[in-house]
Structure formats: C-alpha cells, structure tokens
Amino acid sequence: MSPGAGSRAAASAPHVGAYRPGLRLVRRLYLPRVLGLSLGGLCVAAALQQRGMLEQLWPLLAFNALVWPHLAYRRAQRAVHPRSAEHQNLLLDALGGGFWLPAMGFNLLPCVLIATMLCMDNIAVGGLRLFARGLLVMALGAGVGGATLGWQLDISSSLSTVVACIPFLVTYPLIIGITSYQVSRRLAEQKAQLQEMARFDPLTGLLNKSHWHAQLDAEFLRWRRSRRPVTLMLLDLDHFKRINDEHGHPAGDEVLRQFARILRHHVRDVDVAGRIGGEEFAVIVLDSSAEQALYIARRVRAALAAQPLAVAGGVRVSVSVGIAEPGAWQGSAAHWFAEADAALYTAKREGRDTVRMAPRSPMEPATEPEPETEKA
C-alpha cells in the first residue's frame, strides 16, 4: 500500500481515539437490544408457528432477532456521531417490529408486548420526539409487512404462544429496570461530584468564597447561641502581584497551591479553611481563642520563612495575618469579618509579614503580639 493510500484510509476511518458523545449510550443499549430482540423473536416465532408461516419467514426472523443487534452495535460504535446513529438504530428496531405485526396476524399478546417495549425504548432514549417518530416508523413497517404478507387477523393466542411470551414479559422489564437504576446511580454520583466541585476552589482545593462565607455565617450564629470559642483568621500573601509580574501567572498559581498545602498542614481538620480572593485566604479556627489562632498563624509564617517555595528556582513568600474573635457588639458575621479584615490591613500597613489581632471590644485598642514572640 502506498503512503497516500494509507493516509486516505486513516482519514476515512472513524475517530476511534476522539471523544464522541453517545458512545456510553451505545454500550448501555447493546445488552438490552440483544436480549430484547432475541426474546421478542421467540414471541414472533411462536405466533408465526401458530399461523403456519414460520418455515417461510424464519431466515428473516433469525436475522432480525439474532444478527441485527450486533450489526446495530457495530454501526453506532463506529459512527462519527454515535448518539444519532443509535437513534437511527431504534427507529430501525421499530421498523422491524412493525413488519412483524401483520406477519403475526396482529396476535394480541405478542403484538402488544413488542409494540410496548419498542415504544418504551424510544421514549426512554429520545423522549416524546423519538417516541412519535418511532410510532410513524412502526406504522410504516406494518404497512410494508401487510402489503407483502397480506392483512389477516388472528388475534387469539395459543397456549404455546402465551408460554413463548412469558420470558420476554418477565425478563425485558427487569433488564430495563436494572439499566435505569445504573443510569440513575451514575447521575447521582456525578451530581454529588459536581456539588463537591462547586464547593471548592479548583486551584487550591480549599473552600471557595461563597461556601466559606456560608460557613462563617453558620459559625457566628452558633457562637451567639452557645458562646463556644471560635476565632477568625485572615491571611494575605505579601507582594503577590510582584510574583506574577516577575515570574508569570503560572508561577503565581503554583505559589497559591503550595501555600494552600502549607495552610492545610498547619490547621486542624476541623478548622474551616478557604480561598476568598486572589491571594487572600481565611480560616475559621473552631473551639479556639485568639491566642490559639495566633499560634497557628506563627507556625504558618515560620513554614514560609524556613525555605523558599519551589517555584521559578525558589520564591520567598511572606504572609500578613489578621485575627478576630466574635463579640456581642457585632450584629452579624459580616461585622466579625470586617474586624479581622481591619486587623489584616493594619498588619499590611505596619510592614507586612506580621500578625495583628482585632480589639476584643470596641473600647480597646488593637492588640499587638509581643515583638520577641511574634517573629517565627
């Protein structure tokens, strides 16, 4: 084969490695189609035998019941648009099912079973639109079957026909139920994953701003009810814009990721850490006083000072911290947050790389940690 022929073959081949929406649908419908058409074929065979037409039509029935499901699967799996191909396969199922209705003389039990199951497949996969199209195609198939084989009514079912319909009547709804359960469970898992993803900042893995503030509101209300100690700690990386300007935004993102790991390492699992802005972080330190939060803040600063972050050959980063406890004079969690933010602003204004504590009451000045113990 010439190189040109090889490239043409590769170009005409289906996009096996590419993502094609609908492949999961194709795989999910394969087993129900194999079992449904084979068991439905057993019903049709019994009805044809009752009319004395099985010997005449068994090759066509065998193809429809035993061969077509595998051809349909291969066709949809190799299609550029598998979902559209699977919808076409369902319409071809309806066309074949419609053909067998007059062939069976509209024998009531097998005809109702086959028509109902085909309609159920269409509405489950494509909604009312595919259901309506399936009805039209089934009517077309019935027209072709009636024109080819004649229109004769034989609606009563013999005992052998009833017995042949029982496996289809029992098994196929179970298959559909199991498939529907698997789909609903997968959707529930995906929904849970999306909800979990919506709660967290994708860059750092910490709670995002909205969910962290929701936790802050809840903890403030809990404090007002129980007066159990809780402390708010706001952290802001110093001169972060300089990191972005000198090393680029990817390096800045890596700094944020590494700082988030340091923060998670030094706070407890019960504490609520979040990213509330570009380089701004916050921690609700549960069941702890401001002095205990101060200890955590110093450990975080010490970890940053101990060695440069592994970014762009090593970047030195420092952090300013504001700490506040809730107070009876605060009307809401927003007031509590504002006091911690004011303490953080004071730390920034007074030289950065330091910790400041908000006053414990409106009449007290801001508390400054002792110089000899503040620096890590």
pLDDT digits (tens, 9 = 90+) for 8-41: 444 444 444 556 778 888 998 899 899 999 999 9
In a domain, 204, yes or no: no
Q: Would you list the DSSP string of 222-263? A: HHHHH---EEEEEEEETTHHHHHHHH-HHHHHHHHHHHHHHH
Look at 198 and 238; give whichever has higher pLDDT. Answer: 238
Residues 191 and 269 in one domain: no
Tell me what the mean pLDDT of segment 207-214 comes to: 93
Q: Which of 197, 227, 255 is the last residue of a domain?
A: 197
Q: How many helices (H) and strands (E) does the chain have?
A: 13, 5
Report how many domains make up the chain.
2
Strands 272-275 and 280-286: antiparallel
For the beta carbon of residue 185, count every other beta carbon within 10 angstroms: 10
- Is 7 within a domain? no
Residue 369: band (very low, low, confident or very high) from pLDDT cuts 50, 70, 90: low
For residue 202, tell me if it sits in a domain. Answer: no
The answer for residues whose C-beta is within 8 angstroms of residue 307's C-beta and 6 or more apart is: none
Last residue of a domain, one of 165, 197, 229: 197
Q: Is residue 203 part of a domain?
A: no
Per-residue model confidence (pLDDT) at position 246: 87
Token reading at 310: 């592994």
Residue 355 and residue 320 share a domain = yes
pLDDT in tens, 48-103: 999 999 999 999 999 999 999 999 999 999 999 999 999 999 999 999 999 999 99
- Give residue 270's Cα distance to chain centre: 27
Q: Which residues contact 159 (CB under 8 A, 6 or more apart)?
A: none
The CATH number of residue 342's host domain is 3.30.70.270
Whether the predicted pLDDT of 258 surpasses 80: yes
Task: Give the residue-averaged pLDDT of 264-285.
Answer: 94
Q: What is the C-alpha radius of gyration for the chain, rounded to an integer number of angstroms? A: 35
**In this model, does residue 4 exceed pLDDT 70?**
no
171 shares a domain with 116: yes
Model confidence at 216, in pLDDT bands (50, 70, 90)?
very high
Pair (217, 272) in one structural domain: yes
Domain span at 109: 14-197
Per-residue pLDDT band for 279 (boundaries 50, 70, 90) equals: very high
Do 77 and 143 belong together in one domain?
yes
Mean pLDDT of the 215-243 span: 94
Q: What is the pLDDT of residue 93?
A: 94
d(CA 235, CA 263): 10
| pLDDT, tens digit (0-9, with 9 covering 90-100), for 150-207 | 998 888 989 999 999 999 988 888 887 887 778 788 878 878 777 777 789 989 999 9
- DSSP H or E stretch at residue 283: strand 280-286
- pLDDT tops 50 at residue 322: yes
pLDDT, average across residues 333-338: 95
For residue 375, give both structure tokens: 């620096």
- Count of C-beta atoms within a 10 Å radius of residue 265: 10
Same-domain check for residues 160 and 256: no
Claim to verify: residue 221 and residue 96 sit in the same structural domain = no
Which of 144-148, 152-156, 182-186, 329-333 has the weakest average pLDDT? 182-186
Say how far apart CA 77 and CA 86 lie, in whole Å: 9
Q: Residue 19 has what pLDDT? A: 62
Q: Is residue 97 part of a domain?
A: yes
Boundary residue ending a domain (197, 224, 259):
197
| Threshold 0.85, pTM exceeds | no
Residue 5 lies in a domain: no
First to last CA, the chain: 72
Closest CA to 114 of 61, 76, 179, 78: 61
* Residue 365 within any structural domain of the chain: yes
CB of 324 within 8 A of CB of 339? Answer: yes
| Residues 171, 214 share a domain | no
CA distances from 364 to 266, 329, 345 (A): 30, 13, 17
Smallest CA-to-CA distance from 243 within 232, 233, 254 is with 254
For residues 334-358, give the mean pLDDT.
Answer: 93
Q: Which residues contact 113 (CB under 8 A, 6 or more apart)?
A: 40, 43, 165, 168, 169
Confidence of residue 376 (pLDDT cuts 50, 70, 90): very low
- Check whether residue 245 and residue 321 sit in a common domain: yes
Determine if residue 271 is left, alpha or beta; phi over 0 gives left, psi from -120 to 50 gives alpha, anything else beta. Answer: beta
pLDDT reading at 373 higher than 60: no
Lowest mean pLDDT among 3-12, 136-145, 185-194, 354-363: 3-12
Q: Provide the token pair at 242.
A: 């300089």
pLDDT computed for residue 345 by the predictor: 94
Q: What is residue 187's predicted lDDT score, i.e. its pLDDT?
A: 79
Give the residue-averaged pLDDT of 128-136: 94
In this predicted structure, the answer to whether residue 375 has a pLDDT above a threshold of 50 is no
Q: For residues 252 and 149, state if they share a domain.
A: no
Q: Would you say residue 3 has pLDDT above 80?
A: no
Determine the average pLDDT of the residues in 216-233.
Answer: 95
Confirm whether 306 is domain-assigned. yes
- The pLDDT score that the predictor gives to residue 362 is 64
How far is 212 from 201, CA to CA, in rounded Å?
10
Residues 241 and 338 in one domain: yes
Asked if residue 193 and residue 213 are part of one domain, the reply reads: no
